[in-house]
A and B are shown apart, each in its own frame.
Chain A
Amino acid sequence: MRKRIHHEDFKKLLKDGMTIHVGGFLTNGSPEKLIDLVVESKVKDLTIICNDGGYQGNGVGKMISAGQVKKLIASHIGTNPDIAQLMNTNALEVELVPQGTLVERIRAYGAGLGGVLTPTGLNTLVQDGKQVIHVDGNDYLLETALGADMALIGGAVADAYGNLRYKETMRNFNPTMATAAQVVVVEPVQDCTEIDPEHVITPHPFVDYILRGE
């Protein structure tokens, strides 16, 4: 049985300088309430790992606009004009990672691997500073594992044990991020008594806390 956590107790888990995975794809499956609580907590100097930069006033965009984010690691930032502005004044550092590479780096961390070898990004700016490794006649970039202090998971249907399945396209990065952080907090979109074991996507041992509806 996973621990249900109150809003105020969740805020106590947050610290300045944390690295946080945030699930969701252009805010579909984004843990919006957990993000609001991070904003309320006023923690700062965060490194946020998310597929994208969300929108102004939505998704991780809320933490970015609040000036809480020191570094964003994402595959796409074009939907949030705040980001380009903050980058221009050096108020925000952005590391752009190809989407497939980003998810594999997270998956690698969760699976106890040091990194992955991918052909994506060869002969582009993405290759800069990275090792090229030859395997069976092909070149690959060595992309290192990417873990976090905390993962904020959205889009989930949670059962009483803390098992998760995900609603429609809200699955995206969520199940992978749930494997790759010291503390995993879930904001369910729906609760149920029990998920059929054949349908569980994230088994409950990956989950530390489930946010209570308040």
Chain B
Amino acid sequence: MDDKNIIASRVALELKEGDLVNLGIGIPTLVAHYVPHEKGVVFQSENGIIGLGPDLGEANDIVNAGGMKASIVKGGAYIDTATSFSFIRGRHIDVTVLGALEVDKEGSLASWIIPGKMVPGMGGAMDLVTGAKKVIIAMRHTNRGVHKILEKCTLPLTAHRQANLIVTEMAVMEVRDDGLHLLEIHPNHTLEEVLEATHATLVVNDVKPMKGME
């Protein structure tokens, strides 16, 4: 399994029966492949779908929040953007999964601008991390060796102290009031490797092998 799929399959285990979930673009999108249908998880797409499904190759005008072709599942609904963000800000989304450029030990994250270099904009990310009941950051542990998990974010924030869980190809970490707890390590990696790849103080108590990878 490659890094992306290790991350996506581990995140999928966090989703509970009947959860309403918003998946971001990139690695988070892959999470849907690992959620068994019987779990009854419903995906929301902020451009206007409750009950997002994969592209079935049909001729229609259904797209996801990345502008890619998609489908709607049985029992789904099309909604306008205002209703979509009532779901999002109004705490009706159980879990949002998204990537980030940086996350820090307090759960602040940066994902929408690299000043002077790249300004893609925040899209719906600021609303999602502010309003979702649980915020999971799904990303590679480092950017080709450059630390992304930090004591304090250096880039402009997407939100202050909103991330709850960080899932990477190396580890699972939880943001708690007393610090960033290292919960699980992928069997391919050692504690030393994880500590070296993390530029934030980790609370290391009872570390287990990454769920689903034992």
Is B truly associated with A?
yes
Query: Does the CB pair A103–B82 fall under 8 Å?
Result: yes
Q: Which stretch (A39-47, A115-123, A129-137, A205-213) binds chain B?
A: A115-123
Q: List residues 57-94 of chain B with CB under 8 A from any CB of chain A.
A: 60-63, 65-67, 70, 72, 78-82, 84-85, 88-89
Query: Does the CB pair B82–A99 fall under 8 Å?
Result: no
- The residue that A124 contacts in the complex, of B49, B66, B126, with Cβ under 8 A, is B126
Say yes or no for A98: interface residue by CB 8 A criterion: yes
Query: Does the CB pair A120–B82 fall under 8 Å?
Result: no
Query: Does the CB pair B46–A99 fall under 8 Å?
Result: yes
Query: Does the CB pair A172–B85 fall under 8 Å?
Result: no
Query: Does the CB pair A76–B122 fall under 8 Å?
Result: yes
Say yes or no for A51: interface residue by CB 8 A criterion: yes
Q: List residues 6-62 of chain A with CB under 8 A from any CB of chain B.
A: 25-29, 51-52
Cα–Cα distance between A11 and B74 once the two chains are bound (Å): 43
Chain A residue numbers with a CB within 8 Å of B113 are: 125
Contact with A along B130-161 (1 / 0, CB 8 A): 11000000000000000000000000111110
Chain B residue numbers with a CB within 8 Å of A29 are: 61
B204 to chain A, nearest CB (A): 29
Say yes or no for A1: interface residue by CB 8 A criterion: no
Say yes or no for B99: interface residue by CB 8 A criterion: no
Chain B residue numbers with a CB within 8 Å of A173 are: 80-81
Chain A residue at minimal CB-CB distance from B124: A99
Query: Does the CB pair B119–A99 fall under 8 Å?
Result: no
Say yes or no for B44: interface residue by CB 8 A criterion: no
- A contact face: mostly helix, strand, loop, or mixed: mixed
- The residue that B47 contacts in the complex, of A28, A94, A189, A201, with Cβ under 8 A, is A28
Say yes or no for B48: interface residue by CB 8 A criterion: yes
Say yes or no for B40: interface residue by CB 8 A criterion: no
Chain A residue numbers with a CB within 8 Å of B84 are: 100
Task: Return 28 A-B CB contacts under 8 Å, by A number.
Answer: A25-B65, A28-B63, A28-B67, A52-B123, A75-B121, A75-B124, A77-B119, A77-B120, A98-B123, A99-B85, A99-B127, A100-B84, A100-B85, A100-B124, A103-B81, A118-B89, A120-B126, A121-B130, A126-B122, A168-B62, A169-B45, A169-B49, A170-B61, A172-B80, A172-B81, A173-B81, A174-B80, A175-B80
Report which B residues bind A (CB closer than 8 A): 45-49, 60-63, 65-67, 70, 72, 78-82, 84-85, 88-89, 112-113, 118-127, 130-131, 156-160
Report which A residues bind B (CB closer than 8 A): 25-29, 51-52, 74-79, 84, 87, 94, 96, 98-101, 103-104, 107, 118-126, 155, 166-176, 189, 201
Known pairs A25-B81, A169-B49 / 6 extra A-B pairs, C-beta < 8 Å: A75-B123, A101-B127, A107-B82, A120-B130, A121-B126, A175-B80
